[in-house]
Structure 1
Amino acid sequence: MKLNSLILAGLLPLVSVGAYAKVNDLLQEVKISAASQEADIKNNQIIFHGPVEVTQGSIKILASELRAFSKEKNSGKILIATGNPATYSQVMEDGRPASASAKEIRYELSSRTLTLIGDATLEQEGSQVTGSQIRYNIEQQQLIAESTGKDRVITIIQPENYQEQIQPEQKPEKKPEQEKQ
């Protein structure tokens, strides 16, 4: 039971992306830069051909193609970024970066669900979860990672002092001659 608690405690900072994401990001304009785009107005769909770059505040999505559409009129908006891989990154409220990558990144706005499909990785501060598919409900802060066939879900949790280990405090070294003077 203690091991489960330890693993859960290590995973919480990794999967709490929505809780600590910059609130200001969602108030910023969305800018989509692409090589070309086409709109299917009848079916409520826009396709951006890449390379595609989407930015909104500190949020950045890079993809080969981006589809934006609604399941039904005025509800269920969905963004699907595809690439080899498509990537998502965002700076959290505390300044720490979080990132994700997969062959397909699907974001359903109405349910606030991010689904990573195909070689999926979710990473924050060196800790990561990988699998065939990762589904994360931002609002409920629930994560489900799955793999298929012989593949396994892999979770790597860095020790609490990981950031201190990779960014040691920079102190100028004193030379023996300077110490004697």
Structure 2
Amino acid sequence: MLRPLILALSLAAGPALAQDVAFGGMRADVSAPVEVAADRLEVDQADGRAVFTGNVVIGQGQMRLSAEKVTVDYADAGQSRIRSLHAEGEVTLVSGADAAEAEEAVYEVASGTVTLRGDVVLTQGGNVLTGDRMVVDLASGTAQVEGRVRSILQPGGN
């Protein structure tokens, strides 16, 4: 995987405390249906949760979120409205040419925000940005990266 190379390259860049990022490729239609595919599903009606495991891929419009495990919390007992999705293990968020990797992510469906935590790596073309935490607003296509932020910017890039 490219992650070790990206992390090694990011160590050569200067540190910063926090950085706002134009995240145009990560813009998504937050009102579109959420589609989930996985190898296995366990549902607990009592607590309003569903756990998807194995090659989990979540799609909403052009956005794709993949992980080893995703826990879905429903807003009501009838399990018709999703409150949030908690992804764990080799999390990847992709939309357009933008891609982000992290250890875990929480997608708050109503607000359209995805919070990635743990060794976050964002790639936009040849540009790379790393940090401890990134919050993506899918409706506006913006993000904020925090915690020992490092970046590699290609000359002539955006």
Structure 2 length-normalised TM: 0.70
Task: Give the greater-gyration-radius structure (CA).
Answer: 1
Q: Report matched runs for 1:86-125 at 5 Å.
A: 86-91=91-96, 97-125=97-125
User: What amino acid does structure 2 have at the position aligned with 1:15?
Assistant: F
When residues 137 and 55 of structure 1 are mapped into structure 2, their CA distance, relative to the original with a 3 A threshold, is closer
* Alignment gaps of 5+ in structure 2: 1-19
C-alpha distance in 2, partners of 1:110/1:30? 12
Letter in 2 for 1:130: T
Q: Is it true that 1:55 corresponds to 2:53 in the alignment?
A: no
Q: Using the alignment, how far apart are the partners of 1:49 and 1:22 within structure 2?
A: 24
- Residue 153 of structure 1 aligns with an amino acid whose one-letter code is V
Q: How far apart are 1:106 and its partner, in Å?
A: 1.2
CA distance in 2, matches of 1:58, 1:138: 11
Cα distance in 2 for partners of 1:32, 1:139 equals 20
1:160 counterpart SS class: coil
Q: Distance in 2 between matches of 1:41 and 1:116?
A: 27
The Cα shift of 1:30 comes to 4.0
Which of the residues 152, 156, 163 maps onto 2:152? 156
Question: Quick one: which of 76, 79, 84 aligns to 2:85?
Answer: 79
| Residues 1:64 and 2:76 are matched in the alignment | no
Distance 1:131 1:16 in 2: 19
Residues 103 and 161 (structure 1 numbering): CA distance in 2 closer, same or farther, change over 3 Å?
Answer: closer
Structure showing greater relative contact order (alpha-carbon pairs closer than 8 Å, 6 or more residues apart): 2
Which residue identity does 1:38 align to in structure 2? Answer: E
TM-score of the pair, normalised by structure 1:
0.62
Measure the CA separation in 1 of the matches of 2:34 and 2:144. Answer: 28
* Superposed displacement of residue 131, structure 1: 0.8
Q: Paired residue for 2:24?
A: 16
Q: Structure 1 residue 110: deviation in Å?
A: 1.8
Matched residue SS, 2:46 = helix
Q: Give the superposition deviation at 1:114.
A: 1.2
Which structure carries more helix by proportion? 1
The Cα shift of 1:144 comes to 2.8
Q: What is the root-mean-square deviation in Å for CA atoms of aligned residues?
A: 2.8
**For 1:155-174, what per-residue CA distance to the aligned partner results, in whole angstroms no more than 9, with x for missing partners?**
22223358xxxxxxxxxxxx
Q: Deviations over 1:65-84 (max 9, x none)?
A: 011113x538771111111x
